[in-house]
Amino acid sequence: MLPPCVYRNMVANLQTMSQENLRLSRAPELAYAPTMDNAPEDSALMLRYRNGDVAAFETLYKRHNDALYRYLLRLCHHRDSAEDIFQEVWGKIIKARESYRPTAKFTTFLYRVAHNCFIDHIRRNKRHMQTVDIEPDTQPDAGEQPEVQTERDLARRRLVAALRDLPDEQRDVFLLHEEASLSLDQIASITGSNRETTKSRLRYAVKKLRIAIDEPVGTS
């Protein structure tokens, strides 16, 4: 789950932006009324927000905030850095609303912004290299057997350590695929690579993670 302080800051920023910048006199260009059975698509929500519908942005934010935060948290390995980048990403999305055009899926647009913000963060400082417990749920299940809890904790720690040890390019591709559920073509577009390079990075990342998770306890 997203830390409460981050969510509160986003809501406060959104309210400020809506008060200062969304006083639009023109009517929406298009009506994007949801049907009874289908929720509005991301691009439709972003266009509604562009035309002054703050509630559309809130829906869009709630739809993607958790996956985006997990992606950044596992990419950075540092909670404070992830929260800083998270807010920076949504700030850029807010600022880009006037120029937004649905030429690609909104998730491609969102994670391209996130990817670029992370790269900019690396260039600014190296704080993301520090290690912390980045798992959002470290509390054991009360109904789980101790030996199962122990094995689950070991697997989680191996995965976190293995993710940390991956080259940045492989870790980024893996997280975009697993956390954001993006296709190879979308990931290639976001990272500025071709499809075959992206596929190769994902394959190597998965192979290394499987080896690390299956590694016997005590093996260096």
Q: Which of 163, 173, 175, 176 is nearest to 196 (CA)?
A: 173
Give me the pLDDT at residue 86, please: 95
Give me the pLDDT at residue 149, please: 56
Is 8:83 a contact under the CB 8 Å cutoff?
Answer: no
- What residue spans in the chain does CATH classification 1.10.10.10 cover? 146-214
Global pTM exceeds 0.85: no
User: Which one is the CATH code of 4-129: 2.120.10.70, 1.10.1740.10, 3.40.50.300, 3.40.50.10860?
Assistant: 1.10.1740.10
As averages over each run of 10 residues, the pLDDT of the chain (220 residues) reads 50 46 35 49 93 93 93 87 94 92 89 92 64 42 54 67 87 90 92 94 90 59
CATH fold of 146-214? Arc Repressor Mutant, subunit A (1.10.10)
* Alpha-helical runs (H) found in 27-145: 42-50, 54-76, 79-95, 106-124
Distance CA 52, CA 138 (A): 40
- What residue spans in the chain does CATH classification 1.10.1740.10 cover? 4-129
Place of tokens 């080259």: 167
Give me the pLDDT at residue 33, please: 40
Give me the pLDDT at residue 146, please: 58
- As to burial, measured by CB atoms within 10 angstroms (0-12 exposed, 13-18 middle, 19+ buried), residue 158 is middle
